[in-house]
Amino acid sequence: MSEATTGNSGILGGAGMSVLSGLGTPLLLFMMLVMMVMPLPPVMLDLFFTFNIALAMIVLLASVYAGRPLEFAAFPTVLLIATLLRLALNVASTRVVLLEGHAGTGAAGKVIQAFGEFVVGGSYAVGLVVFAILVIINFVVVTKGAGRISEVTARFTLDAMPGKQMAIDADLNAGLIGQDEALRRREEISSEADFYGAMDGASKFVRGDAVAGILILFINVIGGFSVGMLQHGLSASEAAHNYVLLTIGDGLVAQIPSLLLSTAAALIVTRVSNAQDMGQAVLTQLFSNPAVLYIAAALLGIMGLVPGMPNLVFLSLAALLGFMGYLKARENGAELVAAAAPEPAAAPAEARDLSWDDVTAVDEIGLEVGYRLISLVDRNQGGELLGRIKGVRKKLSQELGFLIHAVHIRDNLNLSPNAYRITFHDVMVGQGEVYPGKELAINPGQVHGDLPGVATKDPTFGLEAVWIDSAERDDAQAMGYTVVDSGTVIATHLSQLIKNHAYELIGQDSVQQLLDKLGHTSPKLVENLVPKVLGLGEITKVMQNLLEEGIPIRDVRTIAEALAEHGPRSQDTDALTGRVRIALGRTIFQTVNGVADEMSVIVLDSQLEQILQSAMQGNVGGLEPTLMEGVVNQLSAASAKLEAAGNMPVLLVASTIRLFLSRLLKGRMNNFYILGYEEIPANKKIKVVATVGSGQPQL
| 471 and 486 within one domain | yes
Boundary of a domain, candidates 558, 583, 608: 583
Degrees (nearest 5) of the Cα angle 190, 193, 197?
140
Q: What is the model's pLDDT at position 170? A: 60
Q: What is the model's pLDDT at position 599? A: 92
CATH number of domain containing 461? 3.40.30.60
| 492 and 553 within one domain | no
Other Cβ atoms less than 10 A from the Cβ of 313: the count is: 11
| 414 and 518 within one domain | no
pLDDT digits (tens, 9 = 90+) for 306-348: 777 777 877 888 888 888 888 877 776 665 555 455 555 544 5
| 497 and 535 within one domain | no
Is the pLDDT higher at 199 or at 589?
Answer: 589
Residue range of the domain that includes 325: 289-330
| 661 and 612 within one domain | yes
Q: What is the model's pLDDT at position 402? A: 94
Helix (H) or strand (E) holding 528: helix 523-529
Amino acid 697 reads P
Q: What is the mean predicted confidence (pLDDT) over 458-469?
A: 91
Is the pLDDT higher at 87 or at 423?
Answer: 423
Alpha carbons 246 and 96: distance in angstroms, whole number:
10
| Domains: count for the chain | 5
Boundary of a domain, candidates 501, 525, 550: 501
| 206 and 66 within one domain | yes
Positive or negative: CA dihedral 497, 499, 504, 505: positive
Amino acid 657 reads I
| 568 and 487 within one domain | no
CATH number of domain containing 559? 1.10.8.540
CATH number of domain containing 642? 3.40.50.12790
| 529 and 549 within one domain | yes
* CB contact at 8 A, 75 and 268: yes
* Residues counted in the chain: 699
Residue 251 domain-assigned? yes
**627: CB partners within 8 A, 6+ apart:** 611, 694
Boundary of a domain, candidates 484, 501, 518: 501
What HEC string does 51-108 produce?
A: HHHHHHHHHHHHHHHCCCHHHHCCHHHHHHHHHHHHHHHHHHHHHHHHHHHHHCCCCC
* CB contact at 8 A, 659 and 679: no
Residue 8 domain-assigned? no
Residue 283 domain-assigned? no
pLDDT digits (tens, 9 = 90+) for 154-195: 777 676 666 667 667 666 665 556 677 878 878 887 777 777
| 511 and 446 within one domain | no
Residue 406 domain-assigned? yes
| 694 and 614 within one domain | yes
Residue 9 domain-assigned? no
Residue 353 domain-assigned? no
Residue 25 domain-assigned? no
Alpha carbons 100 and 118: distance in angstroms, whole number:
20
Residue 350: pLDDT over 60:
no
| 77 and 195 within one domain | yes
Q: What is the mean predicted confidence (pLDDT) over 136-144?
A: 74
Degrees (nearest 5) of the Cα angle 674, 675, 680?
155
| 304 and 243 within one domain | no
Exposed e or buried b per residue across 405-444, where buried means at least 16 C-beta atoms within 10 angstroms of its C-beta: bbbbbeebeebeebbbbbbbeeeebbebbbbbebbbbbbe
Residue 17 domain-assigned? no
pLDDT digits (tens, 9 = 90+) for 1-41: 444 444 444 444 444 444 445 566 677 777 777 777 777 77
**Band of pLDDT at residue 132, cut at 50, 70 and 90:** confident
Alpha carbons 670 and 635: distance in angstroms, whole number:
12
